[in-house]
């Protein structure tokens, strides 16, 4: 096995991103309370990331109850938190090197469901080391969530983190699979168990507030061209929110860019049975005898 220099600059930037993110995650979670504004929490967290020297790797996801991922406030969102189950999923990058984390804030009175995904993540982290197969990690996650009487969300997975790439191989399943990929020292991955009191699958909803660059292209429409210039300069291939774009005609510009297959959208993912979903996620660097969790304070 090739020696990996875990002191290399890219790993230092992953660590820096993780430290910023761990602080922002905890501070943002403290702001989630009944009556607080979704938009204010999201924008506060994104601004705080920048204050601490990072950049958001994707828009702050605020998923409520049956929502599992890809929900972020619109520019004029007036939603406030009720007695809900709230998943905060936040990302940071430093020069394109990423960290990704999530936590459930339960205002719904279902603390055991939140505990199930947290315990599954802890068990998964204890399993990680160079040479372990991803299917083995999935089996530990599934077993832990089953032990709480809930189901893992089986069509969502953890993932690798690349340079300016939020999702790269390997996928880390949330259930046992026969064939997995062997982790290697130096791999940077995000493990994110989702637990539900529903059947354990998500489907795409109709709402889309998050987009990312799919391919280069030229557009004639001025508003679309201005939006594309901002996207390629500021966000590159990372996801962004409609509310991050300058200009009053951002939604129209995004529609045109999507129609030309220059952008793709991320529909909000919802539990098929409309049941609650909890989530817990950390980013880690795989080592020969374990892992280094970058998003834990």
- Active-site residue among 46, 65, 100, 271? 100
Catalytic residue among 14, 70, 159, 282: 159
- C-alpha 190/C-alpha 170 separation (Å) is 10
Find out whether 124 and 140 touch, Cβ atoms under 8 Å: yes
The answer to whether residue 159 is catalytic is yes
d(CA 214, CA 199) in angstroms, rounded, equals 32
Half-sphere exposure of 8 (CA within 13 A, CB side): 10
Active-site annotation holds for 89: yes
Three-state DSSP state, 248: coil
Q: Is 7 a catalytic residue?
A: no
Our CA angle for 171, 278, 35, nearest 5°, is 135
From the list 46, 84, 89, 271, the catalytic residue is 89
Known catalytic residue at 38: no
Q: Which residues contact 158 (CB under 8 A, 6 or more apart)?
A: 171, 172, 173, 174, 189, 190, 191, 192, 281
167 catalytic? Reply is: yes
User: What is the SS3 assignment for 27-47?
Assistant: HHHHCCCCCCEHHHHHHHHHH
Burial (CB < 10 A; 0-12, 13-18, 19+), residue 219, is middle
| DSSP-assigned letter for residue 75 | T
Strand-by-strand arrangement of the 194-196 sheet: 151-152, 194-196, 277-279
- Going by C-alpha positions, the residue among 128, 125, 29, 46 that lies closest to residue 93 is 46
The kind and range of the H/E element at 256 are: helix 250-259
Q: Nearest-CA neighbor of 118 among 262, 270, 282, 265?
A: 282
165 catalytic residue (yes or no): no
Interatomic CA distance for residues 190 and 96, integer angstroms:
16
Active site residues: 89, 100, 159, 167, 192, 281
């Amino acid at each position: 096995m090739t020696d990996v220099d875990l002191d290399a600059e890219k790993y230092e930037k992953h660590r820096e991103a993780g430290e910023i993110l761990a602080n922002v995650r905890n501070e943002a979670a403290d702001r989630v309370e009944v009556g607080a504004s979704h938009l204010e929490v999201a924008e506060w967290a994104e601004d705080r990331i920048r204050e601490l020297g990072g950049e958001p790797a994707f828009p702050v996801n605020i998923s409520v109850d049956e929502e599992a991922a890809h929900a972020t406030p619109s520019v004029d969102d007036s939603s406030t938190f009720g007695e809900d189950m709230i998943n905060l999923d936040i990302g940071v990058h430093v020069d394109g090197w990423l960290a990704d984390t999530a936590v459930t804030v339960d205002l719904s009175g279902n603390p055991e469901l939140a505990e199930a995904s947290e315990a599954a993540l802890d068990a998964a982290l204890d399993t990680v080391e160079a040479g372990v197969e991803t299917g083995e990690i999935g089996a530990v996650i599934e077993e832990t969530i089953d032990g709480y009487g809930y189901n893992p969300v089986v069509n969502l997975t953890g993932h690798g983190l690349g340079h300016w790439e939020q999702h790269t191989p390997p996928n880390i399943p949330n259930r046992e699979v026969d064939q997995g990929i062997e982790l290697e020292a130096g791999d940077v991955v995000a493990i994110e168990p989702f637990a539900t009191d529903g059947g354990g699958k998500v489907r795409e909803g109709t709402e889309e507030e998050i987009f990312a660059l799919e391919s280069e292209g030229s557009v004639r429409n001025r508003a679309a061209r201005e939006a594309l210039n901002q996207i390629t300069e500021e966000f590159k291939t990372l996801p962004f929110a409609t509310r991050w774009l300058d200009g009053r005609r951002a939604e129209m510009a995004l529609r045109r860019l999507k129609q030309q297959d220059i952008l793709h959208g991320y529909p909000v993912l919802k539990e098929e049975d409309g049941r609650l979903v909890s989530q817990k996620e950390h980013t880690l660097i795989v080592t020969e005898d374990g892992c280094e969790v970058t998003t834990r304070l």
